[in-house]
Amino acid sequence: MRTKMRLLGFRGAAVKPLNEEAAAELGAELLGEALVFGVGGLCVYLEYLRQAGQSRRREEHLEQTLSDLRQGLEQLQRDLDELRAQGQRPGAQGHTQGGAGHAQGGARH
């Protein structure tokens, strides 16, 4: 009873002793409420962990995708630089004219 009074905010209030049956009932009620509160808190905590895991996996997936895209972009940049270098060499006709000029240059050879 003292614990219940403290939880309700009554400090130092005089509490008369309860009979054994009332004390057992009050203790069982308090234990039941603590159990329900504990299970509810555990469910909230487990859901938090699940959401945090999903968020972390999503973040890792996005990072991997971004890394793949950067690697692809770097490869394309290297290919473009290589093609430009080939187009600037002497005797490389048709390479700098684009699609149609390149096709015509290939047909003459």
Tell me: the pLDDT tens digits for 13-68? 666 777 888 888 988 998 999 999 999 999 999 999 999 999 999 999 999 999 99
d(CA 38, CA 45): 10
Q: Which residue has the higher pLDDT, 108 or 88?
A: 88
Classify residue 87 by burial, with Cβ atoms within 10 Å: 0-12, 13-18, 19+. Answer: middle
Supply the pLDDT for residue 12: 66
* Confidence at 92, pLDDT banded by 50, 70, 90: low
Instruction: Tabulate helix, strand, coil % of the chain (nearest 5).
Output: 80, 0, 20
Supply the pLDDT for residue 109: 43
